[in-house]
Amino acid sequence: MTKIGTDEWVAQVGERTEAYRGLTAPVRRTWDGIPLGWRFAAAMLLVALLPVATDSSYVVRVGVNAFLFGLLALGLNVVVGYAGLLDLGYIAFYGFGAYTYALLSSDQIGVHLPAELTLIVVVALTAGLGYVLGLPSRRLLGDYLAIVTLFFGQVFVQLAIHLDRLSLPWADGPVNVTGGPNGIVGIDPIRLVGVTFSSVTDYFYLLLVAFVALAVGLHRLTASRTGRAWRALREDPLAAEQMGLPVNRLKLLAFAVGGAVAGFAGAVFAAVQVGVFPQNFETLLLIMIYAAVILGGAGSLPGVAIGAAVIAVFPEVLRTPDYARLIFYGVVLGGLVALLRPWSRLAAVLAGTVVLGFVVRFATAAAWPDAAAVAPGGLVARALGAWVATPPNATTVGNVAFVLLVPAVLAVTRLRGPARTWALPTVLYLAAFVWETRLVAEPSVTRQLVLGAILVVMMTARPQGLLGTPRVEML
Amino acid sequence: MLLALKDVNTYYGQIHILQGVSLDVAEGELVCLLGGNASGKSTTLKTILGLVAPRSGSVVFDGEDVTRASTSRRIERGMAIVPENRRLFSPMTVTENLEMGAYRRSGDLRAAFERVYDLFPLLADRRSQLAGTMSGGEQQMVAVGRALMSEPRLLLMDEPSMGLAPILVERSFEIIQAVHEAGVAVLVVEQNANMALSVADRGYVLQTGRIALTDRADALRENDDLRKAYLGR
Ligand SMILES: Nc1ncnc2c1ncn2[C@@H]1O[C@H](COP(=O)(O)OP(=O)(O)OP(=O)(O)O)[C@@H](O)[C@H]1O
Ligand SMILES: [Mg+2]
């Protein structure tokens, strides 16, 4: 393998790719051998079958949502992941695109432009807006940029709410531009080259095509000189400047590309929803998009796409208690596997938790003979019913346990060594108890909690995100 | 003259850093700029490259007054820098780092890559290694190679030997000489005055923002004041 005279480090590259060991080694090596393009094509083909495989319009709608999320995340990834600009006003571009499409394709101001034209106008306007927002931000760094852009995002929502009675000098009365809190409804469907996109499935395929086109386009952009210059800029703006990179132009380009992508996604969103409302563009959505980018690994295209899919689909899955349960225990288990070393310690903690569960269950069986079953569900729920003690007044006890759980979790993170191993089963059981008595019944709360927990576990185990590249520190 | 600074005054806010600095470098010349900590050596290089603008005075490069020109413009005209602490793009490969050095140039870069790989054969073997994972000496080569990618006529170097083991310090001066022999003018900032003067044609000594002394390198090596201040003998 090693060629005489070649550098040792280079020789090792081959060895490292063959260094996978264990049962999964052949699988991983084969996987590595498949070109990225093929993997992407296969994944998209599978996704394309979704509307065929199910006749539930709800599932397709989740798919549409996931694609919108995917577009937004890919666009944000250009700004944050490539150029390293912390843009907290990103959601305003999405809203601006949606409102622009709504205004130009509804009775709001009585204009019904053809969709081909409207989409071009939206993309051009949001790209321009990105450029304009970029202008004063060129000299701003990190947190200053974040504050300015966050303000920009808030201004957008406020404008959307209050521009329903705009006084213009030439108009008689106040002009209703955005419809205020009631938004704009009755938006035309998108019509492209004679085809009207009327059903959710139609939009699913429109977005699929747009997503593939964007992913391919961005992939080529990252592989270009401009893409590498963005990375250089993110890594060390000062060095980039010293190499004569057009720092300002690169930043503005990133803002414009990100803005255009978000604007396009907004236009499609407006058409799918047949209406736009100010609350569609609030900070929570921004946080979710950031979560997708960070979860997937900022800067990595496939990572961000997967992150978006996870963030879009998980909250939906969490609506069903039995799935939510699977995810909850899956995440807890995953977190333990990632954090507990060696294996013997992991096994001890798990066995300890199981045993503790049964002990508590039987000890309390006497005290609560009339205990209710755990929240209804399938096999998992029945199995858990035999393990988790359920008090008759589950709400009260569950709440108390919840309050206890928070300091318990914090305490465990402070403990070191054997003390942690000993404390973990109790805390884990407490968590399961809280989950079964309280959280499974409250999907709205649990969704946020589980998502937050996933992010925390993820960032502890893999700070660079799923597919991101770990930072190389220069020492 | 390839480069001429005339009575340059540079400020950071209200602080007067460069106080009437005049300095020049001829085509193909190797000039060193010596001086103690905080004497304004890096600021001089930054003024030359246009990273900070002088409040008065002029920077003339290759017959063109570039005092108000952008950094990009100056790099296009033929300047390049090896920054203090090298500042490589650590998560990028050697090739990508080199490419960034030639960002201002359009067209085929193959000849430029070949030149750098000829000068540093080791880099040719390490094309795909991430710059941040390289040793200090190797990073030094990447930093110089990156600057040479723009095929500059004047190479600015800010303390190239900083943080290197003694043997590598010598190696880095060999690199400077190699660049010099290839016909590139070099303005090198150094703390290691002895070493710098042994390879340079001429030298300047900067003291709290003023040129305190300038002469041929061999004369400076014999200068009593300088010996007391920097050469420690
Ligand atoms: N961006 C800045 N803002 C304010 N003051 C600065 C800035 N950069 C440098 N200075 C100050 O200018 C003076 C000269 O700095 P400069 O970096 O030119 O010194 P130097 O001669 O390169 O020193 P060293 O040998 O330590 O690198 C120092 O007092 C420094 O604190
Ligand atoms: Mg310095």
pLDDT of residue A143: 80
Residue A311: CB atoms within 10 Å:
26
Higher pLDDT, B6 or A336: B6
Give the domain ranges of chain B.
27-51+78-231
pLDDT of residue B233: 47
pLDDT of residue A278: 94
Across the interface, whether the CB atoms of B88 and A245 are under 8 A apart is answered: no
List the single residue in B71, B99, B125 with the smallest CB-CB distance to A228.
B99
pLDDT of residue B203: 94
A474: nearest CA partner in chain B: B132
Does the pLDDT at position A4 exceed 50? no
Nearest-angstrom CA–CA distance, A355 and A334: 20
Domain architecture of chain A: domains with CATH: 1-33 (no CATH), 46-317 (1.10.3470), 322-441 (no CATH)
Residue A82: CB atoms within 10 Å:
27
pLDDT of residue A22: 61
pLDDT of residue B224: 79
Question: In this structure, which residue's CA is closest to atom 31 in ligand 1?
Answer: B38
- Protein residues placing their CB within 5 Å of the ion ligand 2: B 42
Does the pLDDT at position A401 exceed 70? yes
Question: In this structure, which residue's CA is closest to atom 30 in ligand 1?
Answer: B38
pLDDT of residue A211: 96
The sign of the dihedral angle between the CA atoms of B115, B121, B124, B126 is negative
- Lowest-pLDDT range, A3-12, A254-263, B186-195? A3-12
Class of residue A384 by CB neighbours under 10 A (exposed 0-12, middle 13-18, buried 19+): buried
pLDDT of residue B230: 65
Residue whose CB lies within 8 A of the most ligand 1 atoms, among B42, B85, B157, for a mutation test = B42
Does the pLDDT at position A18 exceed 60? no
pLDDT of residue A1: 31
C-alpha B189 to ligand 2 mean position (Å) = 8
Looking at this predicted complex, what is its ipTM? 0.91
Read off the tokens for A67.
């694609």
B101-116 confidence digits (pLDDT tens): 999 888 888 999 999 9
Region B168-175 average pLDDT: 86
pLDDT of residue A3: 35
The fraction of chain A above a pLDDT of 90, given in percent, is 33
Distance of residue B92 Cα from the nearest chain A Cα, in angstroms: 8
- Mean pLDDT, rounded, of chain B: 91
For residue A314, what pLDDT band results from cuts at 50, 70 and 90?
confident
pTM for the model: 0.82
Does the domain at residues B27-51+78-231 carry the CATH identifier 3.30.230.70?
no
Atom of ligand 1 nearest to the CA of B52: 1
**Residues of A in Cβ contact (< 8 Å) with B139:** 474
For residue A374, what pLDDT band results from cuts at 50, 70 and 90?
low
The segment with the largest mean pLDDT, out of A25-39, A151-165, A441-455, is: A151-165
Across the interface, whether the CB atoms of B75 and A244 are under 8 A apart is answered: yes
Does the pLDDT at position A15 exceed 60? no
- Lowest-pLDDT range, A133-137, A462-466, B25-29, B56-60? A462-466
Class of residue A142 by CB neighbours under 10 A (exposed 0-12, middle 13-18, buried 19+): exposed
The segment with the largest mean pLDDT, out of A53-57, A123-127, A431-435, is: A123-127
Does the pLDDT at position A471 exceed 60? no
The fraction of chain A above a pLDDT of 70, given in percent, is 90
Q: In what order do the strands lie in the sheet with B15-25?
A: B15-25, B3-12, B56-61, B64-65
Read off the tokens for B47.
């003024």
A138-157 confidence digits (pLDDT tens): 777 778 888 888 898 999 99
Contact B59, B67 (CB under 8 A): yes
pLDDT of residue A6: 41
For residue A362, what pLDDT band results from cuts at 50, 70 and 90?
confident
Q: Is the CB of B192 under 6 A from ligand 1?
A: no
Does the pLDDT at position A31 exceed 80? no
B45, B70, B72, B158: which to substitute to probe chain A, counting the most A Cβ within 10 Å?
B72
Contact B210, B10 (CB under 8 A): no
Peptide bond into A321 cis (omega under 30): no
Higher pLDDT, A171 or B41: B41
Rounded CA Rg of chain B: 17
Find tokens 């003291």 and name the residue: B207
